[in-house]
Every structure is written in C-alpha cells, then in structure tokens.
Structure 1
Amino acid sequence: MNPKTNSFQKLINDIKGLKRLWPFLRENKRYLIIAACLIPLISAAQSTMPLLIKWTIDNGIVAKNESNIWLGAGLGLGLIVFEYFTRAGQTMYTALAVHRMIRNMRSYLVRHIMRLSASFHDRNLSGALVTRATSDFDNLSESLNQGVLNSIVDAAVLLGALIGLFILNWQLALCALLIMPVVIVVVTQASRLLKRTMLSARSKIAALNGFTQECLYGSTTIKLLAAEKHAQKKFDGLVIAYRNAQMKSVVIDASLFAVLDGISSITIGIILWFAVSQIYGQDSGLSVGVMVAFVQYIQTLFEPLKQLGNKIAMLQGAFTSLDRIFKIIDTNDFVEGDELPKEIEGSIQAKNVSFRYDLESSKPILDAVSFELKAGESLALVGRTGSGKSTIIKLLSKLYGDFDGSIHLDGQDLRDLDGHELRKKIAMVPQDIVLFDGSILFNITLGHPNISREDAINASKLVGLHPIIEQLENDYDYKISEEGVNLSQGQRQLIVFARALAKDPKLIILDEATSSVDPASERLIQSAIDRILHDRTVIVIAHRLSTIRSCDQIILLRQGKIQEKGNHESLMESGGQYFQLYQALEG
C-alpha cells in the first residue's frame, strides 16, 4: 500500500477513535461547554495585552502622560488577573471532564474484561491487560489534557496573535509569516522523531515494570537460587535501556526548543530591521509602542510552536493507547446465554462433549466425553496432568462456551444459561489460592450481600477453620497481607474452602482442593467434605486417590477421553488403569 494512503487511513482511524470517546464524555459535556466558552476569553485577554502595552507606551511613556501610564498599568493588572482566572477555570473544567471520562472508560473496560471468556484470558497476558487498564488510561488522560485540549487553547491564542499582528501593521505581519514554512518543517521532523523515541521509551518502561514485578513476586526463588547478581544485571540493563530512550526524547525536545528560539530571535531581528528601514523612510506610522507590541506578538506566536512537537508526539501516543483500549472493548469473546438458572439441585447430563482451547487445533482437549450425575451424588475426576479434568469443571462453570455435544444442568441446556447467574448458585474451590487485601471475613464473603457474618462463621466451623481464626488478633477482622503471606498454606486453603461453603451451594466443585495443604489440614477438609456429601452434588478433582474412595462415581480420563468409569470398589476389582494408578500413587 502507498505510504501516503497508509498515513491517510491512519488519520481516519485516529479521528474515529476520538469520536468514540464521545459516549463516555456525553454526561460531562457541561464541563466541556464551560471550558470551550472560556477559550475565546483566554485568547482575547492574551491578544489584548500587547495592544494595551502599545497604548501605554505611546500615550503614556512617550507622551509623558502620567495618568495614562497609571491607567494602562491598572488595566494591564486587571487583564492579567482576568486571564489567570479564565485559564484556571478552563483547565479545571477540562480536567474534570477528562477525569470523569477516564473513570467511566476504565470502569467500562474492567467490567468488559471481567465478562470475557476464559479463552480470552488464556490468550492475553495478565500484565498486558493491567497495562491497558492503568498505564494506557494515564497516558490517554495526560495526552488529552496537555495535548489535544491545550492545543485548542494554543490555536486560539495563535489566531489572536495573528489578528493582532495584522492590526498593528500588515506589512510586518506578512514579513513574519514568511518564516512559517521553515517552522513547520522543523516541527514536523521533530514530531516524527519524538513519536518514535516516546513509543520506544514506553516499551522499555513496560519491560522494566514487568521484570520488576517478576523479581518482587519471585524474590524468595531468586534468593534460593543465589541468582541476585544475574537479576540485578538484567534489571540494570533494562534501566539503562529506558534511560537511553528517555534521554533521546529529552535531547530532541531540547533541540526543538533551541532551534525555535533561534528562529524566533532571527524573526524578531528581521522585523526590527524592516521596521527601522520604514521608520527612517517616509511617514510609516510605526512607533515604539508598535514595535514592542509586535515583538510580544512574535514571542506569543512561537511559544505554542515550541510545545507543538511534544504535543503531536503525545497525541500519537494517545491514539496508540486508544487503539489498544478499544481493541479490547471491541472483543466480543463472550460465553453466550441469558436464561436464568432454576434453583440448583445438581443433576448433570453430559453427552459427547468435545472441546478445543484453540479452535484451529486438530487435537481436542476433551473427546466425546459423556456421563450422568444425579442430584446429591459425588463424582471424582482423576487422570494425569493434561487429561482434561480441569476443562470439564471449567465448562460446567461456563467459563468456556464453545464446545461440541451437550451439557444439561437440572434439565436446562448449559448453553442457554446466564454464566454469571449460574456461578452465583454453585461454588468452586480452585487449585490456585487467591486471597484479597482485606479481613478474613471479607475474603470469605467477598462482599456478597447475601452472606452474613454468621454464614461465614458457620462455614468456617464446617471446615475446621473457626478455632484457628479465634486465636488470631481481631479473629474474623484479622487483616490478611498481600497474597496471604501472614498465613500458612493450609490456613489460606481453608479460607478458600470456607468461602465456597458460605454460599451454601447445592453444587460444589473441588479442583484439587487439598493439594496445597498439610496432612492435618487435609484431614479437616476431608472430614468437612464427608459431612456435606449427603445433601449436595460434589465434583472432585483429586491427586490423592485415597480422598475419593467414598465418591459415588469415579471417571478416569486420559488424553481427553474416558478410559474407565465406576465407583472405587468396582474399578479396583476390574484391575484396569485405575487400579494401576491407585497402586502407583497410594501403594
């Protein structure tokens, strides 16, 4: 494609991106209207000042009229105060509108990400999504405030300065404009260089932040491997790369300032030479006041131009951030379904269920899996890593939706059910422990309005956690540190287990819920599982086969296919793969 066509298409896309901001700005349009109304006042105030100075010089100082000098000084002071308050008001109302728009967009994006399927999260790094929800919005906010909207003010000031130049002397104004093509070339080239260096700096800081997060998260592992020097060396390299990218931006920006300062001085020199030649000619109408005002207008003209290169680069950065944000917003990778689930009893019928994480992959993760589970029964899924155990429970939880075959829950087609409403009625204890910053009570209830403190305490008693919590300072109000580092592994797992039971669900899914706990905690959890089996449907993924002997059904999976099915006794009697696995693991 022709580079010019490419650039034009990009411009069209950038304009479309800005237009898409309007729905998020609409509710705050009153702030934008007020800010827009103040822009002409700022331009008028700044453009009037040189004319006022001209009048004061010619009719006060040169004419030796003291009253005019005091009048000019008073009007000038009033004009300065007026410009200060109008500019402050414009900045404040613009910032309010942008801040609220960013808040609305950020909330919308996070809600959207939370609704997207597990497949989307499998394809995208969590660090990249965090950057979209944080750094990209910070960049967008800064670019809109200091770049786009300030440029509108600068444009109004430039227009006012040009009008002032032509009011003073149109010949001198035309002379000043002759230098503008040079300014445009300089600013354009500097903007391109700044854009590249700023984008490079952003990529370098992203890499630096990512590695810093890895080092902090894996600090213990780094120490155990005695790899501090290697980590420090890599960190220093990333810091130097970021510093170099930043320095390039600083050098280009400073060079642009210097060049435009030089052009401004040359322009003023040319104007003064031209003016002097006119003054010494026949009656030119030029005065000292006119010359001072003209120089001020030239300086006013060049001041926004010095910032223009940086603002153009910022604007390009904003378009990049906007493109990345809307790319996620435009992603429609949802697990469809809007039918409300009935009161869950827990009966499940799966027929010929096949599933691929990657639709282009020829190898299915699940291959024609069928089973039936009655309400109140327990099912154990066993098999080696990668056999499809976790995939089954993710499908049942409706984290994934694009599968072949059929799954019915209490007679309702799983595809038709609203995933969010379904997950409110079932409970899952995942293998990976996730605790949030807050109290133990919050980590059990997660702020759910239908789970009371009493419900949390009862769930804790059921899993044997209550006596442990009572020994902590402030018991259920005990504050959990980041990732629960002030609790043992077993205590963290028990909290997650209590979180699931606090909902009093009829269907509970346990994904290797005891894999991370010590034998004592495992016995507590196993005892709790045994107590709740009689009136709930339970699906268990277990790596310790001794914990599932009492399950009504056991399914052995291998490479996504069911190899054996039955209860513990029948599978042991058959002497098949389950028997061999049990003997290998339990002895």
Structure 2
Amino acid sequence: MKKKSSFNKVLHYANPYKGKLFFVGFWALFLAIVAAIRPLLLNLTVDNYLIGSKKEANVIQDSFTNFMHYFFEGNDKTTNLQLLVIIMFGVLLLEVIAQFYFVYLASWLGQDIVKDIREKLFHHLSNFKMKYFDNEPVGKLITRCVSDMENIASIFSQGLFMIVSDVLKMLIVLIFMFIINWKITAIVLIIMPVILLATNIFNRKMKVAFNEVRNEVANLNTFIQERLTGMKIVQLFNREAIEYEKFKEINEKHNKAWLKNILYNSIFFPIADIISSITLGLVVYFGALFILNGDTTTSVGQLISFNMYISMLYNPLRQIADKFNVMQMGIVAADRVFEVMETNVQIQDFGTIEANHLKGEIELKDVHFSYLPGEEIIKGINLHVQQGQTIAIVGATGAGKSTIINLINRFYEIDSGEIRIDGTNVKDYTLESLRKEIAVVLQDVFLFSDSIYNNITLFDDTIEKNEVIEAAKKIGIHDFIMSLPNGYDYDVKERGVMLSSGQRQLIAFLRAYISKPSILVLDEATSSIDTHSEELIQKATQTLTENRTSIIIAHRLATIIKADKIIVMDKGKIVESGTHKELLQIENGYYQKLYHAQFEKEITS
C-alpha cells in the first residue's frame, strides 16, 4: 500500500472543517472574478469615453454596450464617466472585502488544523516510553511542537489557498484576455513557458534548501535549550568561551543554510521581473503595430488593460514561487512532525483492571531488564514486599536501584520475568490507574513555573485547597509554606529556583501525600538537603510511610535503620537482604562494608 504523503496527512486534518474550506474556496473564486473585472472596466471606459476608438465588438463589448444602454441611457458622457468611476470603486471595494474574508478564513482554518495536530502530537509524546526521551534531544522536540507547527499552519494561511487563489485568478484573467484580444494574448503565452520553467527549477532547488534550513534550526534549538538549562555547569567549569565557539560553529551552519535560500530567491525574482517587463514591452510594441496597421480588433484601451492583466498574470506566478517556498517549509516541517507522531514507542496499555485502592503487595519474579540490547542492568531479580512494609534498597551507583522503581511504574518494559502487585501482573492494570496508585518522590525534584498550590495539586480540580492545607499540617510543612510571600500562591519560578533543594523536597513530599497513594517510592528523596529541612523531611517521611507500602532508595542512615527490610544490590543483582541489625552481623558482608565506608561518618559527625 502506498504511503500517504505528509501533505495529504495534513489535508486529512481539514476534514472536520469542510464548512470553512467551502467558504475559503468561494471567496477565492469570487476574488479572482472581481479582480479580473477592474482592467476590463478601464479598457471599456478608455475606448468608449476617453478615446472613442472604433473596433469590432466581441462578447464582452456587447454585454458592456447593453449595460450602458440599460442603466446610463439619457445621460451625457461626463455623467456616464463619473458613474463608471463609481462602479470601478465599488468593484475595488468588493475585491478588498473578498480579500479580507479569504485571508482571514484561510488563516483561521490553518490555525484550527495546527491546533488539532499539536494536541495530538503532545498527547502522543506524553505517552512515550522514558527510553525515547533518554535518546532524543529536548530542543528537537520543542522545535517539532512549536516552530514546525507554525510552518504547517503557513501551508494554509500563506501557501496552499494562496496558490489556489492565484491559479484561479490567472485562469480567469487568461479567459478575459482571450475574449478581449486573442492575438495579444498569444504574445503573452509565447513567453510564459520560460517563467514556468524557471519556477519549476526554483521550486526543486528550494525544497533541498529548506530541508537543510530545518535541520540547522533543530540543531540550533537543541544547543541553545541544553546550554541555557545547564548554564550553571557552563559557568562553574569556565566553559563560556568553549561553548561560545561551539555556538558560533552551529550558527555559521545555520547562516549558510539560509544564505543558500536567499541566493535562490535573489536569482529567481529578478528573472521573473525581467520576463514580465519583456512581455509587457512586446505587447505594447505589437499592439501599437496592430493599431497603426488599421486592425479594428485592437484598441488603446485594450493595451492599457493588458498592462494590468500581465501584472495580474505574472505576479501570481512570481508569488506562487514564493508561496511554494512556504509550502516547502510547511511540508518539510510536517515530515518531521509526522515522523514523531508515527513513532511507536509507547508503553502498551492493554490492561483492563482498574488499580483502585491497592493493598500494596509487590512481587518481582526473575526480572531481567536492559536499556540497550546486550547490556543487562537487572539480572534475574526476585523480590517480595509485603503489604504495608517499608523496604530500603541500597547499593553503589549503577547497581540498578532506581531502575527497579521505573519498572514497577512501567516507565520501561521488562525483557523477561514478571512484576505483580496484589497478585496481578502490572500489565493487566490500566496504565493510568496503576500510576495513580504509586507516588514517587525523586531526589531531583521538578517544579513547574507556577504557584506552590498548583505544583502540589498538579491542576487536579478535585483537590480542594483546604485539603492541601490539612495535609501540609499533618506532615508538618504548613508553617514553612506560610512563611513564604503569598503562602500557597507563591510562584516558585522555572524548576522551582526560588526554593532551596530541601524546600523543593518538602513540596514533593506534600505532592505525593495529597495523591493518597497505595505505594510510596522515595528515590533518594532525602539526600542533598540542608540541616534546617532535615527534621521536617524525617517527620514527613514518617507520616507518608505510615500504614503504606513504601520503597526507599536509601541515602540517609536514619531511614535505613527504621526500614522493615533492607535490600542490598550490586551490579543488577540482590546480594543481601534483611534488617539493619541482621545485615551488620554478616561477616565481611556487602552491607557491612557499605555501612562502615559511608554511613558511620554520619553518626559520628
């Protein structure tokens, strides 16, 4: 089966807006007809009232004569001339109105279509596996969602419909020209293949150029987004000069891509202007010869009107090339957007069981997992967590601690084995209900640029403010929040930069608590906090883990000691398990060495 082009896919999104599409087409046709009438009126006015040329009648001449006799009979020439000027003004006004509605509806339709595509793209992205975001630059995805979308909108507002309008205008102008004087029209058509050939070559060159431009725009966006996000690291390690040189190199490639685009435009448009001027010169020359030789089918009024018609015929050709540029950019952007939308890296959500009010019993049976093929991270883990139990997972960096949390949440799919919650395979639960029952507090807390209240509720309308306040009091952070300007309405700015790391952790604890999860995960959530926040963090931890199945990836010693069971991991395997006291009794055990190497200093300090 032949794959649909990106252009056809974009057009498919216009189906719900057939009413607007019809009116866009109607105004395009009406605009073309009205635009072609103005030169005709000027032609007939010159011939009948200014010069009084005698020439053979044609269909248009007969119609105009009948019109004059019917409406202007009994008036002198001056009055009729004034009335014709008023009619020309009225036609011009109609053209302005038609142009307004055509442009407005075309742009409106384009924005509606892009709104639908953007919503579908964002929904698609938000359901991708974490693995996709591990490999794809954020700047590239931002480009797809923002600037590429605007280029798709321009397919309608500045490209497709404008081209259709121009083609209609050219066809109607040619019809009028043939009826008025076919000999002069033939002169125009002899030259036209030259500009059509130039336009075709120009379009092919521009498509290649625009592909290059879009590549460089994506690279530039990615570079800037990453450097601005990591500006602290750039400055800490004195990399300003190095990053500046890298930016200059990327910016230079971007500049060269655009210069190629500008070069093609600079070549084509002067050629189009020259061809248009040559055509006009030939029409005037041969038209004058026809009149001087006594050709009664040619008149001065026709030459004046043809001056306007040539402009109306060649300018759209010139503009069509320009609009094809816009179309090319839009289609290239659509290629990139649909590439993402057709990427199938979503977690398979075939579950039918709603995970409501889970007991919290977790079981991992011979679980194997690898981020990359052939590089196994989790190597046949077996783990059983009882309902309401608090377990801590410890181990060196890269042992696979956080990976287990990601697998239970189904952020990644396991290679083999089975993960069960309350005796049911996690794949049998609907993904949304499963994740709703599991609250995770990460070490690196992410806060949105918004109020503390919205960062806690995450815009969940079902959570009342007094609920949030009561929960904050229960875990002991209400006073801290109220000490901030505007309290719960305090704007934490981007990524929560207005708060310390400890304060951000407290907000994350409250966010987890207010969601009333059945299972709580603290992924090194008590590390990197200031002394003032530590007491609040410990109290919040006790409140959160009470009567709730909890998994704590341990950093703080106090949390590990109080855990019902401690799981020790090394290189993707569980090497030891037991209580704090039991593990310390294992002679030369992994946990004992870890305890003496890392944790004893905390107690003595």
- Fold shared, TM-score > 0.5 on shorter chain: yes
Alignment of 1:264-303 (within 5 A): 264-303=276-315
Q: Is the 8 A contact 2:138 2:222 kept in 1?
A: no
Q: Is the 8 A contact 1:59 1:68 kept in 2?
A: no
Query: Which letter does structure 2 place at the counterpart of 1:342?
Result: N
Q: Is the 8 A contact 1:544 1:585 kept in 2?
A: no
Structure 1 partner of 2:95: 83
Query: Which letter does structure 1 place at the counterpart of 2:121?
Result: L
Q: Is the 8 A contact 1:508 1:539 kept in 2?
A: yes
Question: In structure 2, do the counterparts of structure 1 residues 343 and 218 end up closer, same or farther at CA, with 3 Å as the change threshold?
Answer: closer
Alignment of 1:430-469 (within 5 A): 430-469=442-481
Cα shift at 1:583: 1.2
Cα shift at 1:201: 3.1
Structure 1 partner of 2:36: 47
Structure 2 residues without counterparts, runs of 5 or longer: 54-76, 601-605
C-alpha separation in 2, matches of 1:412 and 1:289: 88
Question: In structure 2, do the counterparts of structure 1 residues 488 and 141 end up closer, same or farther at CA, with 3 Å as the change threshold?
Answer: same
Query: How far does the alpha carbon of each residue in 1:421-447 deviate from its partner, in whole angstroms, 9 at most, with x for none?
Result: 111122110222110121111111111
Structure 1 partner of 2:521: 509
Alignment of 1:316-335 (within 5 A): 316-335=328-347
Cα shift at 1:237: 4.5
Structure 1 partner of 2:26: 37
Q: Is the 8 A contact 2:139 2:218 kept in 1?
A: no
Query: How far does the alpha carbon of each residue in 1:329-368 deviate from its partner, in whole angstroms, 9 at most, with x for none?
Result: 223322223321132110111111111223xx12322111
2:357 to 337, 343, 358: 343
Q: Secondary structure of the equivalent of 1:21? A: helix
C-alpha separation in 1, matches of 2:253 and 2:143: 20
2:431 to 400, 419, 431: 419
C-alpha separation in 2, matches of 1:228 and 1:363: 36
After TM superposition, the structure 1 stretch with the greater mean CA deviation from structure 2, 79-88 or 124-133, is: 124-133
Cα shift at 1:240: 4.4
Question: In structure 2, do the counterparts of structure 1 residues 106 and 369 end up closer, same or farther at CA, with 3 Å as the change threshold?
Answer: same
Structure 2 partner of 1:354: 368
Query: Which letter does structure 2 place at the counterpart of 1:19?
Result: N
Alignment of 1:382-401 (within 5 A): 382-401=394-413
Structure 1 residues without counterparts, runs of 5 or longer: 1-8
* 1:549 partnered with 2:561: yes
Query: How far does the alpha carbon of each residue in 1:482-518 deviate from its partner, in whole angstroms, 9 at most, with x for none?
Result: 2212111111111111110111222101111012212
Identity rate, percent: 33
C-alpha separation in 2, matches of 1:540 and 1:140: 47
Query: How far does the alpha carbon of each residue in 1:443-489 deviate from its partner, in whole angstroms, 9 at most, with x for none?
Result: 11111233222332233234432221121121111111122121111
Q: Is the 8 A contact 1:546 1:586 kept in 2?
A: no
Query: Which letter does structure 1 place at the counterpart of 2:597?
Result: A
C-alpha separation in 1, matches of 2:339 and 2:210: 21
C-alpha separation in 2, matches of 1:469 and 1:58: 85
Cα shift at 1:156: 0.5
Cα shift at 1:545: 4.2
Question: In structure 2, do the counterparts of structure 1 residues 367 and 220 end up closer, same or farther at CA, with 3 Å as the change threshold?
Answer: closer
Q: Secondary structure of the equivalent of 1:55? A: helix
Q: Is the 8 A contact 1:344 1:410 kept in 2?
A: yes
Paired residue total: 574
2:381 to 369, 379, 394: 369
After TM superposition, the structure 1 stretch with the greater mean CA deviation from structure 2, 370-379 or 111-120, is: 111-120
Query: Which letter does structure 2 place at the counterpart of 1:52?
Result: L
C-alpha separation in 2, matches of 1:403 and 1:239: 42
Cα shift at 1:577: 0.9
* 1:141 partnered with 2:130: no
Structure 1 partner of 2:491: 479
Q: Is the 8 A contact 1:366 1:560 kept in 2?
A: yes
Query: How far does the alpha carbon of each residue in 1:231-270 deviate from its partner, in whole angstroms, 9 at most, with x for none?
Result: 4444444444434433443343233221111101111112
C-alpha separation in 2, matches of 1:220 and 1:406: 42
Q: Is the 8 A contact 2:46 2:300 kept in 1?
A: yes
The TM-score with structure 2 as length reference comes to 0.90
Structure 2 partner of 1:94: 106
C-alpha separation in 1, matches of 2:185 and 2:45: 22
Structure 2 partner of 1:3: none
The TM-score with structure 1 as length reference comes to 0.93
Cα shift at 1:22: 4.5
Q: Extract structure 1 runs of 4+ deviating beyond 6 A.
A: none
Larger radius of gyration: 2
Q: Is the 8 A contact 2:381 2:574 kept in 1?
A: yes
Aligned residues: CA RMSD? 2.1
Question: In structure 2, do the counterparts of structure 1 residues 180 and 109 end up closer, same or farther at CA, with 3 Å as the change threshold?
Answer: same
Q: Is the 8 A contact 1:349 1:373 kept in 2?
A: yes
